[in-house]
Amino acid sequence: MTTPVKIVMVEDDHGHARLIEKNIRRANISNEIAHFADGGSALDYLFSDEVKANGPLLILLDLNLPDMSGTDILQKVKGDERLRRAPVVILTTTDDKVEIQRCYDLGCNVYITKPVDYESFADAIRQLGLFLSVMQAPDIE
Amino acid sequence: MPATLRARFDAFRRFLNTPGFGRRVVLLLVIALALKLAVNVTAFVIIDRTAQQDALSRSFQEIRRASRSVLIGVLSAETAQRAYLLTGEAAREAEAMEGLREVDRALMVLGTAASRDADLAPLVEEVRATARDKAQELGVTLDLARSGRVTDAVRVMATGQGQALTDRLRSGVGAIDDLVGRRLAAANSASTNGLRTVGVVNGISSVLIISLAIAIFWLLRTYIADMRHKQLELDRLNAGLEDQVRDRTLALTRANEEIQRFAYIVSHDLRAPLVNVMGYTSELQSAGKALEAQLAAVEAKSPKLVQPDAVAAIREDVPEAIGFIRASTEKMDRLINAILRLSRDGRRALHPEKIDLKTLASGAAAAVHHQTDAQGAEIEIGDLPTIESDRLTVEQLLGNLVDNAVKYLDPGRPGRIRIEGAHRPDGMVEIRVTDNGRGIADRDLERIFELFRRAGKQDRPGEGLGLAFVRNGARRLGGDVEVTSVAGEGSTFSLILPRRLTVTASGEPA
């Protein structure tokens, strides 16, 4: 039996984090969610022994973080021999074309703009949940 | 003409009244010229005087020659007389007569000269008298000899009277000679003095002119050195100015970039909390629905338990509050998006290309086809030139103006919108969108171009963005937008753009 995918959410806005979590749960996704409010602690966790020892990961990443840009984290994750296979979903307010391109260039798997309109937002998260429920994440070893 | 002359004269007077390099040089040159003129005048006067002296000398020489001719004539006549007396040859007699005629001629010349000269006249008179006496004595002896009385003639000669006359004549001529000699010496010394004066005047003025030349040279040198110094100073200042301009331009560019970045960041950072406000408002709304269901259930089971306050809160106050929060947040989102768009437009690279404005205008008219049809309005497209600019921006600008024209037509009359344009002599292209809509009051003419500002009756949807975009975009393309309007009759918006847009390599307006 495969280990369930663990969701690592890097989001500095607690309101956003809670809304994302609520909507993921509403989509009947019960995977464990680890939430980090800044880039530093998220990186510490991603490169810790605990993560190395445990199963597959999915990273939900915001770009506007207080201590660094989300793209820095993306770059480090995609530059790491083990972590680079983990799917990264960028979930952010920025809908700047250049920024989106840059993220895909760095190897992000999905880029989602947080719409201000809540219905669309909730919808997007639910769809993401559906997506997660069928997604196969590779093992990290 | 007199006015210009007076102006010239005034300018000249000002020049003379202003101390400085120019006035000094002019003054020195004037002095040098005056000196040269003085030398010339002196030389002219002296030369004239010398010429007079020369003429005088020549006449003196003539008198001298004439007086001597008198003596020589007498002497040769006397010699011939004696020879005739000795030989009786007729030729000798003729010679004697010739000598006397010579004397007459010379006397005539002397007479003329003496009539002009008081000193000479008595001397000439003396000579003339003596010569006449001598000629008479010679005549007597010659007559005697011709009539064969040679002995009588010799006797007359022997009286020595003839000899005495000759001697007297000699001394008379000598006296004339002396007078002439004295006069010639005087004339000579006068002309020598004149020449010396010319020499001295020449010398002095030469020295002065050379000093003036040295003074002018020195002035010029100082002046040129001064000029060069000032030129260097000016160059230095110019270089400083260029540096300053470069610095300021750089500072402005930086400030502009800063503002763009600022607007961008602010828009994004403003959006994040908005997501929360919207999200949790929705959460509240669903919570309200749950409460409402609960309330309905309680009402059905035990109506006594229901408080009227709770009913008002759940059914009216909360939904109303949520409605207002929602509307405001949505509006705020639109405003933020507008700022974001402005900031993005300001950063987008421009690609100048040839644009047929007529085609572009037709496109803009087609885009509002539905609205115009519905309102029974017409869009007429007049003459339009081609332009070299950024197609997307020009399209947006024209589209916005046409949208506005259609949006603010007066429902009381059939709408007429006209799009036309032409090249202007200053290298710009003017595109006019004229409508017969509701018009704009004078006090609002500037306000309408500001972000989030609108004018007139607020009965049409809009956030006050369109014209702010138009102005922003037109200025980015190196142009501007202007409006003339009569409230109640219609407006004309003029888009003024450079005929050719020039951009830097990175697509920034040059």
Question: What phi and psi, each to the nearest 5 degrees, are found at residue B89?
Answer: -75, 130
The answer to whether B280 faces chain A, any CB pair under 8 Å, is yes
- Position B304 scores a pLDDT of 86
- Position B2 scores a pLDDT of 67
Average pLDDT by consecutive 10-residue portion of chain A (141 residues)? 77 89 84 90 88 80 86 90 86 83 91 79 79 69 53
Structure tokens at B118: 């008081």
Structure tokens at A78: 């995609």
Edge to edge, the sheet with strand A33-36 lists: A33-36, A6-10, A57-61, A88-92, A110-113
The beta-strand segments (E) located in B72-198 are none
Nearest to A57 by CA among A8, A118, A1, A110: A8
Edge to edge, the sheet with strand B490-498 lists: B378-381, B416-423, B428-435, B490-498, B480-486
The answer to whether B329 faces chain A, any CB pair under 8 Å, is yes
Interface predicted TM-score (ipTM) of this complex, two decimals: 0.74
Number of domains within chain A: 1
Is residue B1 helix, strand or coil? coil
Q: What is the pLDDT of residues B332-390, one digit of tens each?
A: 888 888 888 877 777 788 889 999 999 999 999 999 988 888 888 999 999 999 999 99
Residue of chain A whose alpha carbon sits nearest to that of B279 = A118
Residues of B in contact with A122 (CB under 8 A): 279, 282
Residues of B in contact with A116 (CB under 8 A): 271, 274-275, 278, 329-330, 333
Q: Classify residue B117 as exposed, middle or buried by CB count within 10 Å of its CB (0-12, 13-18, 19+).
A: middle
B280–A19 CB contact, under 8 Å: yes
High-pLDDT (> 70) share of chain B, %: 99
The answer to whether A112 faces chain B, any CB pair under 8 Å, is no
Mean pLDDT of the region B299-323: 88
Is A140 a domain residue? no
Report the DSSP pairing between strands B378-381 and B416-423: parallel
Ranges B2-11, B41-50, B477-486, most confident = B477-486
d(CA B495, CA B102): 118
Structure tokens at B22: 């120019």
Q: What is the pLDDT of residues A56-77, one digit of tens each?
A: 888 999 988 888 888 999 999 9
Q: What is the pLDDT of residues B21-33, one digit of tens each?
A: 778 888 888 888 8
Measured in angstroms, the CA of B500 and the nearest CA of chain A are apart by 29
Return the number of CB contacts < 8 Å for A and B: 53
A114–B268 CB contact, under 8 Å: no
d(CA A64, CA A70): 6
- Position A140 scores a pLDDT of 58
* Helix (H) or strand (E) run with residue A8 in it: strand A6-10
B281–A118 CB contact, under 8 Å: yes
**Structural domain for A24, as ranges:** 6-134
Measured in angstroms, the CA of B261 and the nearest CA of chain A are apart by 12
Residue type at position B403: D
Q: What is the pLDDT of residues B230-271, one digit of tens each?
A: 999 999 998 889 888 889 888 888 887 887 778 777 777 788
The CATH code of the domain that includes A89 is 3.40.50.2300
Residue of chain B whose alpha carbon sits nearest to that of A16 = B276
Report the DSSP pairing between strands B490-498 and B480-486: antiparallel
- Position A3 scores a pLDDT of 64
A93–B275 CB contact, under 8 Å: yes
Domain B18-222 has CATH 3.40.50.2300: no
- If you count them, how many residues does chain A have? 141
Is residue B248 helix, strand or coil? helix
Residue of chain B whose alpha carbon sits nearest to that of A66 = B269
Q: What is the pLDDT of residues B381-418, one digit of tens each?
A: 999 999 999 999 999 999 999 999 999 998 888 999 99
Average pLDDT, chain B: 86
Measured in angstroms, the CA of B508 and the nearest CA of chain A are apart by 17
Is the CB of residue B390 less than 8 Å from the CB of residue B502? no
Q: What is the pLDDT of residues B49-79, one digit of tens each?
A: 888 888 888 888 888 888 888 888 888 888 8
Mean pLDDT of the region B412-436: 92
Q: What is the pLDDT of residues B218-235, one digit of tens each?
A: 988 988 999 999 999 999
Is A139 a domain residue? no
Is the CB of residue B277 less than 8 Å from the CB of residue B325? yes
d(CA B42, CA B304): 143
Q: What is the pLDDT of residues B127-174, one digit of tens each?
A: 888 888 888 888 888 888 888 888 888 888 888 888 888 888 888 888
- Answer whether residue B1 shows pLDDT above 60: no
Residue of chain A whose alpha carbon sits nearest to that of B284 = A118
The answer to whether A135 faces chain B, any CB pair under 8 Å, is no
CATH number corresponding to B350-498: 3.30.565.10
- Position A1 scores a pLDDT of 40
- Position B479 scores a pLDDT of 92
Measured in angstroms, the CA of A81 and the nearest CA of chain B are apart by 33
The answer to whether B43 faces chain A, any CB pair under 8 Å, is no
Mean pLDDT of the region B482-488: 91
